[in-house]
Amino acid sequence: MLEVKDISFGFSQHPVLRGISFSLDEGQILSVIGESGSGKSTLLKALYGLYDLDRGTIRWSDKKILGPAYNLVPGEEYIKYLAQDFDLMPYISVRENIGKHLSNFYPEEKANRISELLEIVELSEHAEKKPGELSGGQQQRVALARAMALEPELLLLDEPFSHIDSFRTSALRRNLFSFIRKKGITCVIASHDSVDALSFADKTLVMKNGEVIREDHPKKVYSEPETYYTASLFGEVNEIQVSQMFPELHTEKTIFAYANELQADETSPLKIRVKASYFEGGYYLIRGLHQGKTLFFNSPNPIPAEQIVAVRAPIDLVKKRLNAKD
Protein backbone atom coordinates (compact mmCIF):
# COMPACT_ATOMS: atom_id res chain seq x y z
CA MET A 1 0.00 0.00 0.00
CA LEU A 2 1.11 3.56 -0.77
CA GLU A 3 0.44 5.76 2.24
CA VAL A 4 0.92 9.53 2.08
CA LYS A 5 0.44 11.39 5.36
CA ASP A 6 0.19 15.17 5.62
CA ILE A 7 3.10 15.96 3.30
CA SER A 8 4.17 19.54 2.58
CA PHE A 9 7.02 20.79 0.44
CA GLY A 10 8.18 24.07 -1.00
CA PHE A 11 11.09 25.88 -2.62
CA SER A 12 12.45 28.51 -0.22
CA GLN A 13 9.38 30.32 1.08
CA HIS A 14 7.12 29.18 -1.77
CA PRO A 15 4.90 26.22 -0.77
CA VAL A 16 4.15 23.79 -3.60
CA LEU A 17 2.51 20.90 -1.73
CA ARG A 18 0.28 21.63 1.27
CA GLY A 19 -0.80 18.96 3.73
CA ILE A 20 -1.52 16.18 1.23
CA SER A 21 -2.76 12.82 2.52
CA PHE A 22 -4.10 9.78 0.65
CA SER A 23 -3.60 6.03 0.36
CA LEU A 24 -3.59 3.61 -2.56
CA ASP A 25 -3.90 -0.17 -2.41
CA GLU A 26 -1.47 -2.40 -4.28
CA GLY A 27 -2.49 -2.90 -7.90
CA GLN A 28 -4.71 0.19 -8.01
CA ILE A 29 -4.38 3.07 -10.46
CA LEU A 30 -4.62 6.65 -9.20
CA SER A 31 -5.08 9.62 -11.51
CA VAL A 32 -4.00 13.08 -10.37
CA ILE A 33 -5.61 15.94 -12.25
CA GLY A 34 -5.46 19.71 -11.97
CA GLU A 35 -4.49 22.84 -13.85
CA SER A 36 -0.87 23.60 -14.71
CA GLY A 37 1.00 24.66 -11.57
CA SER A 38 -1.36 22.81 -9.24
CA GLY A 39 1.45 20.56 -7.93
CA LYS A 40 0.88 17.33 -9.87
CA SER A 41 4.46 16.88 -11.08
CA THR A 42 5.93 17.92 -7.73
CA LEU A 43 3.77 15.32 -5.99
CA LEU A 44 5.09 12.54 -8.25
CA LYS A 45 8.68 13.64 -7.67
CA ALA A 46 8.06 13.62 -3.92
CA LEU A 47 6.63 10.08 -4.16
CA TYR A 48 9.79 8.99 -5.97
CA GLY A 49 12.04 10.48 -3.32
CA LEU A 50 13.49 13.40 -5.28
CA TYR A 51 12.68 15.94 -2.55
CA ASP A 52 13.22 16.25 1.18
CA LEU A 53 9.79 16.97 2.60
CA ASP A 54 9.14 19.91 4.91
CA ARG A 55 6.58 17.81 6.75
CA GLY A 56 4.84 14.44 6.60
CA THR A 57 5.75 10.92 5.51
CA ILE A 58 5.46 8.69 2.45
CA ARG A 59 5.48 4.91 2.82
CA TRP A 60 5.33 2.06 0.36
CA SER A 61 4.29 -1.10 2.26
CA ASP A 62 6.59 -1.00 5.30
CA LYS A 63 9.29 1.07 3.60
CA LYS A 64 9.63 4.80 4.16
CA ILE A 65 10.43 6.78 1.02
CA LEU A 66 13.20 9.25 1.82
CA GLY A 67 14.69 12.15 -0.12
CA PRO A 68 18.21 13.07 -1.27
CA ALA A 69 19.33 13.95 2.26
CA TYR A 70 19.17 10.21 3.04
CA ASN A 71 19.92 8.65 -0.35
CA LEU A 72 23.08 9.42 -2.31
CA VAL A 73 21.16 8.48 -5.45
CA PRO A 74 17.54 9.68 -5.05
CA GLY A 75 14.77 7.24 -5.89
CA GLU A 76 13.98 3.65 -4.94
CA GLU A 77 14.71 0.54 -7.03
CA TYR A 78 11.13 -0.77 -6.66
CA ILE A 79 9.70 2.51 -8.03
CA LYS A 80 9.94 3.71 -11.62
CA TYR A 81 9.30 7.34 -12.47
CA LEU A 82 8.65 8.54 -16.03
CA ALA A 83 9.27 12.27 -16.19
CA GLN A 84 8.26 14.61 -18.99
CA ASP A 85 11.86 14.53 -20.24
CA PHE A 86 12.67 11.05 -21.50
CA ASP A 87 16.38 10.65 -20.56
CA LEU A 88 17.10 8.04 -23.27
CA MET A 89 20.61 6.84 -24.09
CA PRO A 90 21.29 8.42 -27.52
CA TYR A 91 23.96 6.01 -28.80
CA ILE A 92 22.17 2.71 -28.31
CA SER A 93 19.12 1.31 -30.06
CA VAL A 94 15.50 1.44 -28.98
CA ARG A 95 15.70 -2.25 -28.08
CA GLU A 96 18.81 -1.66 -25.97
CA ASN A 97 17.27 1.36 -24.24
CA ILE A 98 14.23 -0.68 -23.20
CA GLY A 99 16.34 -3.59 -21.94
CA LYS A 100 19.07 -1.45 -20.38
CA HIS A 101 18.26 -2.46 -16.78
CA LEU A 102 17.17 -6.04 -17.48
CA SER A 103 19.49 -8.85 -16.40
CA ASN A 104 21.68 -10.51 -19.02
CA PHE A 105 21.70 -13.78 -17.08
CA TYR A 106 18.42 -14.77 -18.77
CA PRO A 107 18.87 -13.63 -22.40
CA GLU A 108 15.78 -15.40 -23.77
CA GLU A 109 13.52 -13.99 -21.05
CA LYS A 110 15.05 -10.55 -21.61
CA ALA A 111 14.47 -10.72 -25.37
CA ASN A 112 10.86 -11.83 -24.88
CA ARG A 113 10.18 -9.01 -22.40
CA ILE A 114 11.61 -6.40 -24.76
CA SER A 115 9.57 -7.77 -27.68
CA GLU A 116 6.39 -7.69 -25.59
CA LEU A 117 6.99 -4.08 -24.59
CA LEU A 118 7.83 -3.06 -28.16
CA GLU A 119 4.44 -4.42 -29.22
CA ILE A 120 2.64 -2.63 -26.40
CA VAL A 121 4.06 0.76 -27.43
CA GLU A 122 3.79 -0.13 -31.16
CA LEU A 123 7.50 0.33 -31.95
CA SER A 124 8.55 -3.16 -33.09
CA GLU A 125 9.52 -1.88 -36.54
CA HIS A 126 11.79 0.78 -34.97
CA ALA A 127 13.59 -1.54 -32.55
CA GLU A 128 17.05 -1.07 -34.08
CA LYS A 129 16.87 2.69 -34.53
CA LYS A 130 18.64 5.20 -32.28
CA PRO A 131 16.46 7.63 -30.24
CA GLY A 132 17.67 10.54 -32.38
CA GLU A 133 16.01 8.94 -35.41
CA LEU A 134 12.61 8.99 -33.70
CA SER A 135 9.98 11.67 -33.24
CA GLY A 136 9.26 13.13 -29.81
CA GLY A 137 6.17 10.95 -29.47
CA GLN A 138 8.10 7.81 -30.40
CA GLN A 139 10.80 8.67 -27.86
CA GLN A 140 8.13 9.04 -25.21
CA ARG A 141 6.84 5.57 -26.05
CA VAL A 142 10.37 4.15 -25.68
CA ALA A 143 10.60 5.80 -22.26
CA LEU A 144 7.26 4.27 -21.31
CA ALA A 145 8.43 0.80 -22.30
CA ARG A 146 11.69 1.21 -20.40
CA ALA A 147 9.82 2.30 -17.25
CA MET A 148 7.72 -0.87 -17.39
CA ALA A 149 10.55 -3.25 -18.29
CA LEU A 150 11.43 -4.24 -14.72
CA GLU A 151 7.74 -4.44 -13.70
CA PRO A 152 8.13 -2.02 -10.79
CA GLU A 153 5.97 -2.29 -7.70
CA LEU A 154 5.01 1.37 -8.08
CA LEU A 155 4.95 3.21 -11.43
CA LEU A 156 4.77 7.02 -11.52
CA LEU A 157 3.77 8.56 -14.87
CA ASP A 158 3.93 12.31 -15.46
CA GLU A 159 1.89 13.29 -18.54
CA PRO A 160 2.88 10.02 -20.29
CA PHE A 161 0.99 10.72 -23.53
CA SER A 162 1.71 14.44 -23.95
CA HIS A 163 3.97 14.07 -27.03
CA ILE A 164 2.10 11.20 -28.68
CA ASP A 165 -0.14 11.67 -31.73
CA SER A 166 -3.79 11.68 -30.75
CA PHE A 167 -4.66 8.89 -33.21
CA ARG A 168 -2.24 6.57 -31.38
CA THR A 169 -3.04 7.63 -27.83
CA SER A 170 -6.28 5.65 -27.37
CA ALA A 171 -4.76 2.29 -28.37
CA LEU A 172 -1.59 2.99 -26.41
CA ARG A 173 -3.61 3.82 -23.28
CA ARG A 174 -5.52 0.56 -23.55
CA ASN A 175 -2.34 -1.46 -24.10
CA LEU A 176 -0.46 0.25 -21.30
CA PHE A 177 -3.12 0.02 -18.62
CA SER A 178 -3.99 -3.54 -19.61
CA PHE A 179 -0.32 -4.46 -19.04
CA ILE A 180 -0.29 -2.59 -15.70
CA ARG A 181 -3.44 -4.42 -14.54
CA LYS A 182 -2.14 -7.81 -15.69
CA LYS A 183 1.13 -7.36 -13.82
CA GLY A 184 -0.52 -5.97 -10.68
CA ILE A 185 1.55 -2.77 -10.81
CA THR A 186 0.39 0.10 -8.63
CA CYS A 187 0.32 3.27 -10.72
CA VAL A 188 0.00 7.00 -10.14
CA ILE A 189 -0.57 9.04 -13.30
CA ALA A 190 -0.54 12.84 -13.40
CA SER A 191 -2.38 14.07 -16.45
CA HIS A 192 -4.26 17.03 -17.88
CA ASP A 193 -6.35 14.61 -19.97
CA SER A 194 -9.70 13.70 -18.44
CA VAL A 195 -9.73 10.36 -20.32
CA ASP A 196 -6.85 9.16 -18.14
CA ALA A 197 -8.83 10.07 -15.05
CA LEU A 198 -12.17 8.63 -16.12
CA SER A 199 -11.41 5.52 -18.15
CA PHE A 200 -8.60 3.74 -16.34
CA ALA A 201 -8.25 4.99 -12.77
CA ASP A 202 -9.66 3.41 -9.61
CA LYS A 203 -9.41 6.70 -7.76
CA THR A 204 -8.89 10.35 -8.70
CA LEU A 205 -7.22 13.20 -6.83
CA VAL A 206 -8.08 16.76 -7.85
CA MET A 207 -5.30 19.23 -7.05
CA LYS A 208 -5.40 23.02 -6.84
CA ASN A 209 -2.70 25.34 -5.49
CA GLY A 210 -0.75 22.42 -4.04
CA GLU A 211 -3.71 20.95 -2.17
CA VAL A 212 -5.96 17.96 -2.76
CA ILE A 213 -9.47 19.40 -2.96
CA ARG A 214 -11.22 16.16 -3.92
CA GLU A 215 -10.48 12.44 -3.62
CA ASP A 216 -13.07 10.05 -4.97
CA HIS A 217 -14.00 7.47 -7.59
CA PRO A 218 -13.58 9.03 -11.08
CA LYS A 219 -17.26 8.64 -11.91
CA LYS A 220 -18.31 10.53 -8.79
CA VAL A 221 -15.75 13.28 -9.38
CA TYR A 222 -17.22 13.77 -12.86
CA SER A 223 -20.91 13.40 -12.08
CA GLU A 224 -20.82 15.25 -8.73
CA PRO A 225 -18.06 17.82 -9.27
CA GLU A 226 -18.83 20.05 -6.22
CA THR A 227 -16.82 23.02 -7.57
CA TYR A 228 -16.63 24.82 -10.89
CA TYR A 229 -12.87 24.25 -10.95
CA THR A 230 -13.28 20.46 -10.73
CA ALA A 231 -16.00 20.38 -13.37
CA SER A 232 -13.96 22.56 -15.74
CA LEU A 233 -11.19 19.94 -15.82
CA PHE A 234 -13.55 17.70 -17.82
CA GLY A 235 -14.53 20.21 -20.52
CA GLU A 236 -16.87 23.14 -21.02
CA VAL A 237 -19.18 23.50 -18.05
CA ASN A 238 -21.97 25.86 -17.07
CA GLU A 239 -23.08 27.05 -13.65
CA ILE A 240 -26.84 27.56 -13.94
CA GLN A 241 -29.50 28.63 -11.48
CA VAL A 242 -32.02 25.78 -11.31
CA SER A 243 -35.00 28.15 -11.34
CA GLN A 244 -33.93 29.33 -14.81
CA MET A 245 -34.66 25.83 -16.11
CA PHE A 246 -37.26 24.48 -13.64
CA PRO A 247 -39.04 27.25 -11.72
CA GLU A 248 -41.46 24.63 -10.35
CA LEU A 249 -38.64 23.19 -8.20
CA HIS A 250 -38.73 26.41 -6.12
CA THR A 251 -35.02 26.70 -5.46
CA GLU A 252 -32.49 29.42 -6.12
CA LYS A 253 -29.58 26.97 -5.95
CA THR A 254 -27.18 26.54 -8.85
CA ILE A 255 -25.85 23.35 -10.43
CA PHE A 256 -23.02 22.56 -12.81
CA ALA A 257 -24.02 21.18 -16.19
CA TYR A 258 -21.57 20.09 -18.88
CA ALA A 259 -22.13 21.26 -22.44
CA ASN A 260 -23.24 17.77 -23.49
CA GLU A 261 -25.87 17.71 -20.72
CA LEU A 262 -27.86 20.70 -21.99
CA GLN A 263 -30.50 19.79 -24.53
CA ALA A 264 -32.66 21.89 -26.84
CA ASP A 265 -36.16 22.09 -25.34
CA GLU A 266 -38.57 24.70 -26.71
CA THR A 267 -40.63 24.55 -23.49
CA SER A 268 -37.67 25.63 -21.34
CA PRO A 269 -37.63 29.15 -19.89
CA LEU A 270 -33.81 29.23 -20.30
CA LYS A 271 -33.26 31.10 -23.58
CA ILE A 272 -29.78 31.42 -25.08
CA ARG A 273 -28.76 33.83 -27.84
CA VAL A 274 -26.30 31.93 -30.03
CA LYS A 275 -22.97 33.64 -30.72
CA ALA A 276 -20.88 30.95 -32.42
CA SER A 277 -20.85 27.29 -33.49
CA TYR A 278 -17.63 25.26 -33.34
CA PHE A 279 -17.32 21.98 -35.21
CA GLU A 280 -15.98 19.33 -32.79
CA GLY A 281 -16.21 16.25 -35.00
CA GLY A 282 -19.38 14.38 -34.07
CA TYR A 283 -21.19 17.53 -32.89
CA TYR A 284 -21.03 21.32 -32.73
CA LEU A 285 -20.15 23.18 -29.56
CA ILE A 286 -22.46 26.16 -29.33
CA ARG A 287 -21.45 29.30 -27.43
CA GLY A 288 -24.25 31.62 -26.45
CA LEU A 289 -25.33 34.29 -23.99
CA HIS A 290 -28.05 34.34 -21.34
CA GLN A 291 -28.45 37.60 -19.44
CA GLY A 292 -24.88 38.52 -20.37
CA LYS A 293 -23.44 35.22 -19.14
CA THR A 294 -21.71 32.80 -21.51
CA LEU A 295 -23.19 29.30 -21.73
CA PHE A 296 -22.16 26.29 -23.80
CA PHE A 297 -24.19 23.38 -25.14
CA ASN A 298 -23.79 20.73 -27.85
CA SER A 299 -25.84 20.48 -31.01
CA PRO A 300 -25.85 17.96 -33.88
CA ASN A 301 -25.92 20.91 -36.32
CA PRO A 302 -24.54 24.45 -36.41
CA ILE A 303 -26.93 27.18 -35.28
CA PRO A 304 -26.95 30.62 -36.91
CA ALA A 305 -25.56 33.46 -34.83
CA GLU A 306 -28.17 35.56 -32.95
CA GLN A 307 -30.76 32.78 -33.10
CA ILE A 308 -32.55 32.20 -29.78
CA VAL A 309 -32.52 28.60 -28.53
CA ALA A 310 -34.26 27.23 -25.43
CA VAL A 311 -32.27 24.60 -23.53
CA ARG A 312 -32.20 22.78 -20.22
CA ALA A 313 -30.68 19.77 -18.52
CA PRO A 314 -32.79 16.64 -17.83
CA ILE A 315 -34.74 17.02 -14.62
CA ASP A 316 -33.36 13.75 -13.18
CA LEU A 317 -29.84 15.08 -13.61
CA VAL A 318 -30.78 18.39 -11.99
CA LYS A 319 -32.32 16.65 -8.98
CA LYS A 320 -29.25 14.40 -8.63
CA ARG A 321 -26.90 17.40 -8.63
CA LEU A 322 -29.12 19.19 -6.12
CA ASN A 323 -29.14 16.16 -3.81
CA ALA A 324 -25.35 15.93 -4.06
CA LYS A 325 -25.11 19.53 -2.82
CA ASP A 326 -27.34 18.91 0.19
User: pLDDT band at 326, cuts 50/70/90?
Assistant: low
Same domain, yes or no: 142 and 52: yes
Query: Given this model, what pLDDT does residue 164 score?
Result: 79
Query: Between these two residues, 100 and 49, which has the higher pLDDT value?
Result: 49
Same domain, yes or no: 152 and 82: yes
Query: Given this model, what pLDDT does residue 77 score?
Result: 81
Same domain, yes or no: 243 and 218: no
Same domain, yes or no: 153 and 263: no
The domain boundary residue, chosen from 173, 196, 230: 230
CA distances from 285 to 60, 209, 296 (A): 45, 30, 7
Same domain, yes or no: 253 and 272: yes
Same domain, yes or no: 209 and 290: no
CATH number of the domain that 75 lies in? Answer: 3.40.50.300
CATH number of the domain that 272 lies in? Answer: 2.40.50
Number of independent structural domains in the chain: 2
Q: Which domain holds residue 258?
A: 236-325
The domain boundary residue, chosen from 198, 230, 262: 230
User: pLDDT band at 244, cuts 50/70/90?
Assistant: very high
Residues 19-31 pLDDT 10s: 999 999 999 999 9
The domain boundary residue, chosen from 230, 264, 285: 230
Same domain, yes or no: 267 and 155: no
Residues 151-189 pLDDT 10s: 889 999 998 888 777 777 888 888 889 989 999 999 999
